[in-house]
Amino acid sequence: MALVISRQDTKIQQWKKALKTAAPDIEVYSCLEDHPKEKIKMALVWKHRPGSLKEYPNLECIASSGAGVDFIFADKEAPKNIPITRVVDPMLASDMSEHVTALIFAYLKNLNQYKLDQTQQVWNPLPYARIKDFTIGILGLGALGALLATNLVHIGFQVQGWSQSKKVLPSVTAYTGKTGLPGFLSSTDILVCLLPLTPDTVGILNNELFAQLPKGAYVINVARGGHLVDEDLLEALKANHLSGAALDVFHEEPLDREHPFWSHSKVHISPHCASVSDTKSVVPQIIENYRNLYSGKSLKNIVSMDRGY
């Protein structure tokens, strides 16, 4: 029995080292080295090469090394009848909460505008907003959204959340399902998307949704590029219906150099760095699931095949 790490970025060795350090007895391979394919029972994946998982005839579990699993569902050749697991990690959630909070304050206090002004030696103090002025609406109250909501409440924001199934969090106004969406949107000044990407949520950040936000609303997408219809955002910004957007995720990553978001004065871009799995923090749950697989015990953090997250 062995585990393969399958990804296309430069982090394979980092993951391998972390796994070997924490569990020297586990046989761990990089997908880039020669490895016994028939021994592989678990694939630890992050944007692996589509089609590559079918090379493992005895694969019993596909483990995402991040919170998202959309790239696994997008791989039409990935084995269908074995469990997929995802990462649920307090550090991933707190990193996301810190990043989004930083974006919110940068917006409240015009920090992005001042950075722009600085490049042109422009001295232009602007009126600034305060915590009490804005209601934050979080789309998606999973592990990441729930912690963000709780932390923003502690800071003093009015916070509301929207989710598919009802979630109760102290001092967070909850909206649920399709019927709850209009009420949620009409009272949201800063919208944060933290939804999983599924067939139900793809393209959810579109014209129709933006039109339901109050004029001047700000949009933060830290979930997946596929949630956003780029042209619709550009249109809503041009019409001054939205005052700006902060985007950490894109349809294509890295973002194409020709994409209009790069030079848009109202769009703040970051390179999918809001919250990145920390190997030290995540490896124990991967090892636990590997050992559970070995001893026939049930796995943690299994993804629902129906819901897609």
Which position among 16, 68, 242, 267 is part of the footprint of ligand GLV (CB under 6 A)? 68
- By beta-carbon distance, which residue lies closest to ligand GLV? 66
* Residue among 154 and 280 whose Cβ is closer to ligand GLV: 280
Q: Could you say whether residue 67 binds ligand GLV (CB under 6 A)? A: yes
DSSP 186-238: HT-SEEEE-----TTTTT-BSHHHHHHSPTTEEEEE-S-GGGB-HHHHHHHHH
Q: How far is the CB of 206 from ligand GLV (least distance, A)?
A: 21
The C-alpha atoms of residue 2 and residue 150 are separated, in whole angstroms, by 39
CA dihedral 138, 142, 146, 148 (to 10 degrees): -60
> Looking at 65-73, 113-121, 165-173, 184-192, which segment touches ligand GLV (CB under 6 A)?
65-73
The C-alpha atoms of residue 21 and residue 72 are separated, in whole angstroms, by 27
Which tokens go with 11? 């982090």
* Residue among 45 and 169 whose Cβ is closer to ligand GLV: 45
Q: How many CB atoms lie within 10 A of CB 61?
A: 20
> Looking at 49-57, 64-72, 185-193, 299-307, which segment touches ligand GLV (CB under 6 A)?
64-72
Which position among 66, 140, 145, 226 is part of the footprint of ligand GLV (CB under 6 A)? 66
Q: How far is the CB of 74 from ligand GLV (least distance, A)?
A: 13
CA dihedral 262, 224, 76, 257 (to 10 degrees): 10
Q: Where are the alpha helices (DSSP H) in 120-229?
A: 143-155, 177-186, 207-212
243 Cβ contact list (under 8 Å, min separation 6): 216, 217, 218, 266
* Residue among 100 and 185 whose Cβ is closer to ligand GLV: 100
Residues in contact with ligand GLV, counted by CB under 6 A, come to a total of 4
Phi, psi of 94 (to 5 degrees): -75, -35
* Residues carrying an active site annotation: 224, 272
Q: How many CB atoms lie within 10 A of CB 122?
A: 10
> Looking at 62-70, 182-190, 229-237, 262-270, which segment touches ligand GLV (CB under 6 A)?
62-70
The C-alpha atoms of residue 73 and residue 24 are separated, in whole angstroms, by 31
* Residue among 64 and 135 whose Cβ is closer to ligand GLV: 64
The C-alpha atoms of residue 46 and residue 253 are separated, in whole angstroms, by 14
* Residue among 4 and 249 whose Cβ is closer to ligand GLV: 249
Q: How far is the CB of 254 from ligand GLV (least distance, A)?
A: 14
Q: How far is the CB of 43 from ligand GLV (least distance, A)?
A: 16
Q: How far is the CB of 222 from ligand GLV (least distance, A)?
A: 8
Query: Which of 31, 29, 34, 30 lies closest to 2, judged by CA?
Result: 29
Q: Could you say whether residue 277 binds ligand GLV (CB under 6 A)? A: yes
Is the omega angle on the peptide bond into residue 36 within 30 degrees of 0, that is, cis? no
Q: How far is the CB of 265 from ligand GLV (least distance, A)?
A: 26
* Residue among 66 and 244 whose Cβ is closer to ligand GLV: 66
Q: Could you say whether residue 226 binds ligand GLV (CB under 6 A)? A: no
The residues binding ligand GLV (CB under 6 A) are: 66-68, 277
